[in-house]
Amino acid sequence: MPAASHLYIHVPFCSRRCSYCDFAIAVRRVVPVQEYVDAVAAELAGRAASTPLGALKTVYLGGGTPSKLGLDGIRSLLGALRSHRRAGLDPDVEVTIEANPEDVTAEAATAWADAGVNRLSLGGQSFDDDSLAWMHRTHNAAATGLAVRTARRAGIRDISLDLIFALPGSLGRDWTADLRLALDLELDHLSLYGLTVEARTPLGRWAARGEVREAPEDRYAEEFLIAHEMLGAAGFEHYEVSNFARPGKRSQHNSCYWRRAQYVGVGPSAHSYDGAVRRWNAREYEAWKTRALAGEDPIEGSERLTSDNTLAEEVYLGLRTKEGLSTHPGDDQTVDAWVEAGWASVVGGRVVLSAEGWLRLDSLAAALTAARTR
């Protein structure tokens, strides 16, 4: 089996659960840093034969909130990775850490940079204080700009910012103002996500009781298209349905998923893919930690992709990106209708969705997958 060159490490710890969050997290007042790092090292050692790591091109510390590991925790975690005998680091490796703005202190950012972190993904979500409080975020609007400036002074220049659009109208958030404030920070990368209501979240319970109404589809579409126009005019390429980057500043790690490259995931709920089989770890921290430290594989499940699964993934992931998807014989009837509607274009033998097309991504991908299986 060829060695994977992309590694995801899930750090589950958070100070509190955000109102919209359905991720695998562990809310801890005191984070068990060394216990967690030891469990990651144990999982890496135990899985070396089944999912070998080659010279890593990307390492992504996601969560949860990886910055909750503190200065010594990040150093220790990346040190454990470097000591893993099968995993070298490519000289140009992209090492990303997700962080909350309030965790980006001068001391922390310097320590991260010294440990090898060269890319920061900030969970800003909004520049509106009322919206941040409603989302149960632990920072205020001013903290995001401060975090960006602090990281730059420490030498971390590659910075991405997450924002959420299509918030409930009752909050009165000005989406255009949020985008302008993000542009004022002169960032290289933005990730924009429409708010979704998940049943097992505070937001899901509020919606079930009728206390919150989701943004209507027309406003969701309007805000998505506003971002597409504003960021495009500012020099960003809309290179994936949720992601915008200045030239040469795409997320290399996330791009590996859209290319269906092999990757290894460690930590609770982390997924891996070897080109044929997807596997995922135990979701809850205690179960994952106990099994990893006992020398057991913390896998919870796996799936060998069928030819139909592979086709559906290739179509869906290809259509998510600016590069699009190679056309096949028999696509004409389906794709021609999209082109006529303004949802797609065909460039160099590839079908590329427009921003309007991306708003219909799920249905268009399903239609093309069905056409290719007939």
Question: Is 23 in the same domain as 155?
Answer: yes
Residues near 132 by beta carbon (within 8 Å), at least 6 away in sequence: 125, 126, 139, 140, 141
Question: Is 222 in the same domain as 352?
Answer: no
Instruction: Answer whether residue 338 is part of any domain.
Output: yes
Q: What is the pLDDT of residue 49?
A: 62
Total number of domains in the chain:
2
Question: Is 167 in the same domain as 229?
Answer: yes
Q: What is the pLDDT of residue 85?
A: 55
Beta strand residue intervals within the chain, DSSP E: 4-11, 13-14, 26-27, 53-63, 89-99, 119-125, 158-165, 189-194, 237-240, 243-245, 264-266, 271-273, 277-281, 299-304, 325-326, 344-347, 350-353
* Residue 63, domain extent: 4-258
* Span 300-312, pLDDT tens digits: 999 999 999 999 9
Instruction: Answer whether residue 268 is part of any domain.
Output: no
Edge-to-edge strand ranges of the sheet holding 243-245: 237-240, 243-245, 189-194, 158-165, 119-125, 89-99, 53-63, 4-11, 264-266
Instruction: Answer whether residue 92 is part of any domain.
Output: yes
Q: What is the pLDDT of residue 51?
A: 66
Instruction: Answer whether residue 266 is part of any domain.
Output: no
Question: Is 244 in the same domain as 311?
Answer: no
Instruction: Answer whether residue 329 is part of any domain.
Output: yes
Among 233, 258, 283, the domain-final residue is 258
Question: Is 10 in the same domain as 102?
Answer: yes
Instruction: Answer whether residue 116 is part of any domain.
Output: yes
Q: What is the pLDDT of residue 48?
A: 66
Q: What is the pLDDT of residue 106?
A: 96
5 three-class SS: strand
Measured in whole angstroms, the distance separating CA 151 from the mean position of its chain's CA atoms is 20
Question: Is 30 in the same domain as 138?
Answer: yes
Question: Is 120 in the same domain as 210?
Answer: yes
Name the stretches of the chain with pLDDT < 70: 1-2, 48-52, 85-88
* 179's tokens: 């985008």
Question: Is 30 in the same domain as 147?
Answer: yes
Instruction: Answer whether residue 275 is part of any domain.
Output: no
The enclosing domain of 249 has a CATH number of 3.20.20.70
Question: Is 242 in the same domain as 369?
Answer: no
Backbone angles phi, psi at 118, to 5 degrees: -130, 5
Q: What is the pLDDT of residue 52?
A: 67
Question: Is 254 in the same domain as 311?
Answer: no
CA 169/CA 182 separation, integer angstroms: 21
Q: What is the pLDDT of residue 262?
A: 93
Q: What is the pLDDT of residue 88?
A: 63
CA atoms within 13 A on the CB side of 67: 24
Question: Is 218 in the same domain as 338?
Answer: no
Question: Is 200 in the same domain as 77?
Answer: yes
Q: What is the pLDDT of residue 198?
A: 83
Tell me the pTM.
0.94
Q: What is the pLDDT of residue 197?
A: 82
* Span 175-213, pLDDT tens digits: 999 999 999 999 999 999 999 888 878 888 887 888 888
Instruction: Answer whether residue 285 is part of any domain.
Output: no
CA 308/CA 81 separation, integer angstroms: 36
